[in-house]
A and B are shown apart, each in its own frame.
Chain A
Amino acid sequence: MAETVFSRPGALAPVITHYCPGCTHGIIHRLIAEVIDELGIRERTVGIAPVGCAVLAYNYFTVDFQEASHGRAPAVATGIKRARPDLIVFTYQGDGDLASIGMAEIVHCANRGEKVTVVFVNNAIYGMTGGQMAPTTMPGQIATTCPLGRDVEQAGHPIRIAELLSTLRTPSFVARAAVHTPLYAVNAKEMLRRAFRYQVAGTCFSMVEVLSTCPTNWGVPPVEANRWLAQNMMPFYPLGVFKTPDGADRAPTPGAGD
């Protein structure tokens, strides 16, 4: 008898996703599904899909889902959690959704200390609409609405959401991770596990920002996209834990220090 050493997580639906080759949404989905399985919370979890590339996320998990309008996932999550505090509620949002149109909702959700988990996928671009500039687009980075590169004089600098949310006084768990190599992915899963655990314990709001790639809209092959992320995004978006509910901000992050 062969021993099963690797299989699809139960919380991940047995379907093929619509994501582009080399996109890391699939990895992040899988990490979330593994955490849901390991915590044994699948049957009481409700996810919230965003508007953006992950708009169809509700097809990829075996948990109940709500589809939110653009940017409003943290408000929808608030409604669900207040109605049913026994449920485990997570949002899955991109950078246009969370850091642009949904900035008010994410800040106030965190500030109220809603006991929900936010997975924030930052790939520095609007993916679904075709590569427009995001609030997280890097200085000089080319996008379809900044064809000469992001001009910080006109568009300002990219917004660091993890740092921004960690300034709030309300206790929370805020971290940033990446998934462009297996080692980083292992660390990202650990961040997600901590985030969900804080929710299961009813402790606090939790958010994990995950740096992600968009080979299609960046216009580079997947391997090069991973390299571009490490060289350009990680210096500006440092990885680590920015805030914990007990106040131990910026704890060292294992495996993410190179």
Chain B
Amino acid sequence: MQNDVIMAGFGGQGILLIGKMLAYAGMHEGKEVSWLPSYGPEMRGGTCNCTVVISDRPVGSPVIRSPRAVLAMNLPSLDKFERDVRPGGLLLVNSSLINRDPARTDLTVVKVPANEIANSLGNPRAANMVALGAYLGATGAVSIAEVEAVVRETFSAKPQLVDSNLLALHRGFEVGAAATGKAVASVAEEGS
């Protein structure tokens, strides 16, 4: 069983951070993981992406050309990566910043108004956490409890940010789970 995802967006949206959080959580869950950022002149251009692989077996290629999922946090990312998603794969779209529908019809598309949800929670910078939650809700790649622990650890120096980030994570999770109907068990578990 392998989950892999390319997460992409503007520099400053916290893309690399949520990718790392996902990898950390996977590692804590005992899975094999890899996290690979884009690097070079590309990272000076204002967009960035990372590839995260979470697997039951040792990770083969850490470079994924046809990912099982893509998380597009802005329009250039959708334009760039939509064509690469594996047929039948998952495409998460930040509908707050992306004003077009995906062209592909062979994918599970989840639209997440990540910025709007984050704004409504009073923490506009937590749009990335909404998106991460949506990915978890749609895939169950890693249990949300593990990710919660990583969130607490990540923001341990700024405890005032923990609650709003956790809330953002859960709102996103609900959107992802509702759209795919996949991760209901995790929701119930998390609610208990």
- Asked whether any CB of A lies within 8 Å of a CB of B in the complex, the reply is no
